[in-house]
Amino acid sequence: MSGTPQRSSGPGRLLIAVYAVFALAASARAGVQIATKFDEAPVAYLLSAFAALVYIVATVAFARPGAAARGVALAAVTVELLGVLTVGTVTAFDPGDFPDDTVWSLYGRGYGFVPLVLPVLGLLWLRRTWSADRGVSESP
Amino acid sequence: MVAVVDWAVIVASLAYAAWALVAVVRNRPPREPYVVGAGVVELLILIQAVVAVVLMIADGTPEETATFIGYLLMNLIIVPLGLFWALAEKSRWGTSVLVVAALVVPVLVVRMQQLWDAGAA
């Protein structure tokens, strides 16, 4: 009965909700930045857009069943973790390269460090649910 | 913006989040009272949005108008989206989605207030 939980149910429901909030927030922020003041800090704004894309992909991949979506989710969450660590470290030591904030600046401090915690929870949840798709597709 | 309306939204959304959190702790799925509660919170958000738009037309726009409108729109959709996503999950995790959605609201309102006050100064 119990088995491996599905990615989009149980705690996954909450995880996807938080991802969706970040997908929305990052997209809106990047959209406004690029539309109204792109020349001020093009690198930071392109990075904002990239972060938004990663959150959108992760949200959709977590919500969809199947092994393919699982792989996409793993890739997105890995990129997200590397992104927040890289951008966080760069902005902590030399904020000059990023004159305006992104979601990942200072390890996501502007967002209560949720951007730092989220990919870790995402990876843990993927590990927890890893065999769920196999269970569905290969069950006799 | 109008402080009374802002505070009504903030207090209502925080109260709703706390209420839903109690249900999460007690292992309850999202039930009808939570749909009604979400409706009340959404109604206040709608009133706040209308007031903000009227004020923008009457008194001029706040600092970073595009960002302000972005917050305004996100505030309008977050509770309905959260409810939609929560109701499909018949466990405490569904209710926990309501907590998250409700907690985003006061953050957005405070950010809107900051932009508004920066524009007024």
Q: What is the pLDDT of residue B49?
A: 96
Q: Is residue A37 part of a domain?
A: yes
Query: Tens digits of per-residue pLDDT, B24-58?
Result: 999 999 999 999 999 999 999 999 999 999 999 99
Kindly tell me the burial class for residue B14, based on how many C-beta atoms sit within 10 Å of its own C-beta (0-12, 13-18, 19 or more): middle
Of B70, B93, B101, the CB nearest to A11: B93
CA atoms of A58 and A15, how far apart (whole Å): 10
Count how many pairs of residues, chain A against chain B, have C-beta atoms within 8 Å: 53
pTM of the model: 0.91
Domain assignment of residue A137, yes or no: no
Nearest 5°: phi and psi at B113?
Answer: -60, -45
Helix-, strand-, coil-residue percentages of chain B, each rounded to 5 = 85, 0, 15
Q: Which residues of A touch B94 (CB under 8 A)?
A: 13
Domain membership flag for residue A21 = yes
| CA–CA separation, A75 and A122 (whole Å) | 11
Q: What is the least distance, in Å, from the CA of B95 to any CA of chain A? A: 9
The reply to whether A64 falls in a domain is yes
CB contact under 8 A, A28 and B91: no
With an 8 Å Cβ cutoff, are A20 and B93 in contact? no
Structural domain spans, chain B: 3-120
Contact check, Cβ <8 Å, A10/B89: yes
Considering the domain boundaries, does residue A4 fall inside one?
Answer: no
C-alpha R_g of chain B: 15
The pLDDT assigned to B84 comes to 95
Q: How many other β-carbons are positioned within 10 Å of the β-carbon of residue B54?
A: 11
Segment B75-99 mean pLDDT: 96
- Is residue A42 situated within a structural domain? yes
Residue A89 belongs to a domain: yes
Q: Select the residue from A13, A36, A62, A118 to test the B interface by mutation, using most B Cβ atoms within 10 A.
A: A13
User: Which residues 34-63 of A are in CB contact (within 8 Å) with B?
Assistant: 35-36
Which chain A residue is nearest to residue B81, measuring alpha carbons? A17
Boundaries of domain holding A105: 11-130
CB contact under 8 A, A21 and B100: yes
Burial profile A21-44: b = 16 or more Cβ within 10 angstroms, e = fewer: bbbbbbbbbbbbbeeeeeeebeeb
* Residue ranges in chain A modelled with pLDDT below 70: 1-3, 95-100, 134-140
